């Protein structure tokens, strides 16, 4: 074999990635396709997924399928895994990435924002992971990845609902790791600091006054790039992480 063969640690794996249309999820889709995984890509706006799905399939010779779904719909999380799995004839990796935030102070907290954040950032991924974990346990194992946040482990001002939801999701992930570990299911969380997605760039990258106090708490003195989350997400789903279970992996330049 030539030493120029690409390293494809996820060859033969089949993954569902939520929130795959932009930001971190889109970059994880890129990294997983390059690593050899077949993919079901989901977000609300299915049309935004068609072009990347076709491109990744053509560039990397993997199978990609698009499935539009709104995780705020109470019925969706319970049935999404079965639907996605049916399309792919089985799945063995879940990347629970979709999420939102409504930055606001505790005093300005809006109940509708609190409810939506808990719905999309906690209820949906926790239910989806439970259904996925149960199916993986039946079929011999798999990997569940939670894209949580450093805000799950250390409070972040103006992120009351967000931190609450992410902390709950980290504990749901640990519980899956505990209950399903002996049946071959590994469940881990990635906890990034600010990631310079398009949105991160707007909120943090282009507002030096807002960014400065945050940067001062990050020993590496910079925010993360999406690729720095994706690389960890590839590793966690691969056999290289076969004894990593129930962990929270910071991608935070030392912030935590
Ligand atoms: P983003 O650029 O805003 O992308 C969010 C993705 O989630 C999109 O694909 C969006 O697609 C999907 N989504 C949003 N609401 C949805 C819903 N109700 N149902 C289904 N899909 C939905 O976000 P990001 O910055 O990449 O963040 C991705 C994850 O990383 C989130 O869980 C976030 O909390 C976490 N995180 C981000 C940062 C950061 O600084 N960026 C830091 C730490 C952790 P549609 O709009 O088409 O549905």
CA–CA separation, 135 and 237 (whole Å): 17
22 lines ligand 1 (CB under 6 A): yes
CA–CA separation, 26 and 39 (whole Å): 12
Strands 14-18 and 93-96: parallel
Instruction: Give 2-56 pLDDT, tens digit per residue.
Output: 456 788 999 999 999 999 999 999 999 999 999 999 999 999 999 999 999 999 9
DSSP 116-156: HHHIIIIIHHHHHHHHHHHHHHHTT-EEEEEE--GGGTS--
pTM: 0.97
Instruction: Give 49-107 pLDDT, tens digit per residue.
Output: 999 999 999 999 999 999 999 999 999 998 999 999 999 999 999 999 999 999 999 99
Instruction: Give 171-225 pLDDT, tens digit per residue.
Output: 999 999 999 999 999 999 999 999 999 878 877 888 889 899 999 999 999 999 9
Predicted pLDDT of residue 5: 75
Predicted pLDDT of residue 230: 98
149 lines ligand 1 (CB under 6 A): yes
Which residue puts its alpha carbon closest to atom 34 of ligand 1? 99
Predicted pLDDT of residue 39: 98
Tell me the CA–centroid distance for residue 4 and ligand 1, in Å: 35
Active site residue 162: yes
């Amino acid at each position: 074999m030539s030493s120029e063969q690409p390293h494809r640690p996820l060859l033969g794996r089949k993954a569902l990635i939520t929130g795959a249309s932009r930001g971190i999820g889109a970059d994880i889709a890129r990294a997983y396709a390059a690593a050899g995984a077949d993919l079901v890509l989901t977000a609300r706006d299915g049309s935004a997924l068609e072009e990347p799905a076709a491109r990744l399939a053509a560039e990397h010779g993997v199978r990609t399928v698009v499935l539009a779904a709104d995780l705020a719909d109470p019925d969706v999380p319970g049935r999404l895994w079965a639907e996605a799995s049916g399309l792919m004839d089985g799945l063995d990796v879940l990347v629970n990435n979709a999420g939102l935030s409504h930055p606001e102070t505790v005093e300005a907290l809006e109940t509708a924002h609190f409810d939506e954040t808990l719905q999309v950032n906690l209820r949906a991924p926790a239910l989806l992971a439970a259904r996925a974990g149960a199916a993986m346990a039946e079929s011999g194992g798999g990997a569940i990845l939670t894209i949580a946040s450093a805000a799950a482990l250390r409070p972040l001002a103006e992120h009351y609902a967000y931190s609450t939801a992410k902390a709950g999701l980290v504990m749901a992930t640990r519980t899956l790791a505990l209950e399903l570990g002996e049946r071959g299911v590994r469940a881990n969380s990635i906890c990034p600091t600010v990631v310079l997605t398009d949105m991160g760039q707007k909120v943090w990258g282009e507002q030096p006054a807002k960014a400065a106090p945050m940067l001062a708490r990050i020993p590496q003195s910079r925010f993360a790039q999406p690729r720095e989350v994706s690389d960890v997400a590839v590793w966690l789903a691969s056999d290289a992480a076969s004894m990593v279970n129930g962990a929270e992996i910071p991608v935070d330049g030392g912030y935590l």
